[in-house]
Chain A
Amino acid sequence: MSTKNWPLWEVFVRSKNGLEHRHCGSLHAADEEMALENARDVYTRRSEGVSIWVVESKHITASNPENNGEMFEPAQDKVYRHPTFYDLPDEVKHM
């Protein structure tokens, strides 16, 4: 029986030029060529893509949801980064 299993890969597909690659799922493959070919066969059977990225899942570093407070909440009160923060008279157009 198998001793080592095929590692897991994450698949990102660009649906058409001009758009970003988006994560669409994962799969198993022994090496990068196989990962790319499997991604093509599994995730673009209905012409969903024009470009594929694959990356072995273990190479992804993810933020920890436990740190979400310190990571993301400080951005919430920085309303001055958004255009709606600034009061302008209604007469001003194109701004």
Chain B
Amino acid sequence: MNQNLYNYILGIADNSLILGQRLGELTGHGPSLETDIACTNISLDLFGQVRSYYQYAAKIAGDKRTEDDIAMLRKEREYVNVLLVEQPNTNFAYTIARQFLFDVYHFLFLTQLEKSKDLTLSAIATKSLKEVSYHQRFSTDWLKRLGDGTSESKAKMQEAINDLWTYTDELFHQTEADKAMVAEGIGVDVTTLKKAYYEKVEAVLSEATLETPESKWFQKGGKQGIHTEHLGYLLTDLQYMQRTYPNMEW
């Protein structure tokens, strides 16, 4: 099997899996019914993407692995999502900050992935792009509402942006699989997205009357499977059934 392609797909899919799982935690607990429904929609979009990616990865693996094995039976160190998406729903400002900081990246990324020589990835990108374009609109609008809302919401939104800022740089780190796939014309060179990303983020933050954090200290490690302590608990939930009742169908 093409190990680099397999790893590359996980690098994309794990982000959607972990973020989808985080949003799923909120269903039934949103600040209003309408917002609750909207967040679940985003979660459903992400899980839909996840399934397409993992089904493709399972095909490449060519053994007995299924989409669920890939999603639920890896060890913590084998998940390669960025640290940003595993951060908890501390409050709604964190949920929106996390979503926004990821959506802007996700949109730029998929726009490039659409041009991939790999037709399956390109097709998934085309479909996902419409969804993510809406996610970006949703999180951008909410960022503006909370940033330029009340003094309380502004403080909360700024705090969330400040706290999550440290996880943004990792989005643009290249892995070995990335490099190999870029060379083959399949993968996206994420380093080229960085400039557009920060320009867009800064513009929206400014419109939301928020400060762009100045800190240049960034966390990394997710792409190498070294995560924050939050991920282990998220996986405990995600994997509970598959671990407790191995080899069964549901």
- Direct A–B contact in the complex, CB atoms closer than 8 angstroms: yes
| Residue of chain B at shortest CB distance from A27 | B34
The interface residues of chain B, by DSSP majority, are classed as: helix
Bound-state CA distance A37–B139 (Å) is 11
Bin the interface of chain A by size: 10 to 19
State whether B137 touches A6 (Cβ < 8 A). no
Q: Which residues of B contact A29 (CB under 8 A)?
A: 34
Asked whether any CB of chain A lies closer than 8 Å to the CB of B162, the reply is no
Asked whether any CB of chain B lies closer than 8 Å to the CB of A50, the reply is no
Bound-state CA distance A10–B37 (Å) is 17
**Residues of A1-52 contacting chain B, CB below 8 A:** 6, 27-30, 33-34, 37-38, 41-42, 45
State whether B141 touches A41 (Cβ < 8 A). no
Bound-state CA distance A52–B141 (Å) is 19
| Residue of chain A at shortest CB distance from B35 | A38
Asked whether any CB of chain A lies closer than 8 Å to the CB of B115, the reply is no
> Would A41 and B41 be within 8 Å (CB), given that A30-B145, A33-B141, A34-B141 are in contact?
yes
Least distance between A2 CB and chain B CB atoms (Å): 10
A/B interface sample: 26 pairs, CB < 8 A: A6-B32, A27-B34, A28-B32, A28-B33, A28-B34, A29-B34, A30-B145, A33-B141, A34-B34, A34-B141, A34-B145, A37-B38, A37-B137, A37-B138, A37-B141, A38-B34, A38-B35, A38-B37, A38-B38, A41-B34, A41-B37, A41-B38, A41-B41, A42-B34, A42-B37, A45-B41
Give B residues with C-beta under 8 Å from A.
32-35, 37-38, 41, 137-138, 141, 145
